[in-house]
Amino acid sequence: MTAEPVLIIGGRSDIGRAVAHRFAAAGHPIQLAARGAAGLAPDKADIELRHDVAVTLHELDVLAPESFDGFIDGLGDLPGVAICAVGVLGEQAVCERDHGAAALVMRSNYEGPAAILAALANRFEARGSGALVGISSVAGERGRAANYIYGSAKAGFTAFLSGLRNRLARKGVHVVTVLPGFVATRMTDGMDLPKRLTATPEAVATAVEAALRRRRDVVYVKPVWALVMMAIRTIPEGIFKGMRI
């Protein structure tokens, strides 16, 4: 990998921060994008001090597609890698009764991330190089009563990444789907997460870097999740609908 700029979409998230540090440590200039990007000034200073690379901040609302062309033009250098770590978990019980809350979860986990990666994909395709990384979720592999609003959006995002990968496979652009299981972040703070199935943001960053280096298409951050989800996918629907998992 050369030291091309790496764009982090969702630079305020714990995963976004960890990924930024990971690639900065490898010598990549970092482009941090988020809403209220000016508030990321302390992160910019920290990354620059720790890793001696250039960091730029870029205002981006992934739910405002009319701003995407201007955002990409404003990056200056088109990044070599773009990593989308945007997402919100939401509360299933609230989303079941509040259409606005459900729509925000669905838009934030599917519509927005897919739309900004689609805009970048066109630029990367025209250039004939680059890599796009989407942080999706194992929750998208089978709908569960406990989180099917969030999971359905992630399922859509996973399918989008798969199709985009097939479209760009012969255009010099690599697309990676990252499937974390549980991740210990501010978003999951207070949840009773099983340690064996729970990754750190730094582990997600390591998985992203390794997936790009090894040209992987789909990667589970903790390999045990591949086995867990294979088992869950094979449970007959008649049995699954009576389970509380």
Active-site choice (110, 148, 150, 220): 150
The 8-class DSSP code of residue 110 comes to I
Residue 159, Cβ density class (10 Å: 0-12 exposed, 13-18 middle, ≥19 buried): middle
What's the mean pLDDT in 37-51?
97
Distance between CA atoms of 137 and 124, rounded to whole angstroms?
Answer: 24
Contact 45, 89 (CB under 8 A): no
Taking a C-beta distance cutoff of 8 angstroms, is the pair 205, 180 a contact? no
% residues pLDDT > 90 (the chain): 91
Using the predicted structure, report yes or no on whether residue 141 has a pLDDT greater than 70: yes
Tokens of 98: 């509040």
Of 26-35, 120-129, 182-191, the range with the lowest mean pLDDT is 182-191
Note the pLDDT of residue 193: 85
Average pLDDT, the chain: 95
75 token code pair: 């990056």
Helix (H) or strand (E) holding 49: helix 41-51
Angle separating helix axes 148-168 and 112-127, nearest 10 degrees: 10
Query: Catalytic site residue 150?
Result: yes
Which of 7, 11, 13 lies closest to 187, judged by CA? 13
Note the Cα 132 to chain centre separation in Å: 10
State mean pLDDT over 39-46: 97
Say if residue 64's pLDDT is above 70: yes
Q: Is the pLDDT of residue 1 over 70?
A: no
User: What pLDDT was estimated at residue 2?
Assistant: 56
* pLDDT over threshold 80, residue 153: yes
Q: Residue 192's pLDDT is what?
A: 81
What contacts 166, CB < 8 A, 6 or more positions away? none
| Other beta carbons within 10 Å of 50 | 11
The mean pLDDT of 48-67, rounded to a whole number, is 97
For the segment 204-215, the average pLDDT, to the nearest whole number, is 97
pLDDT one-digit tens code per residue, 73-125 = 999 999 999 999 999 999 999 999 999 999 999 999 999 999 999 999 999 99
pLDDT of residue 219: 97
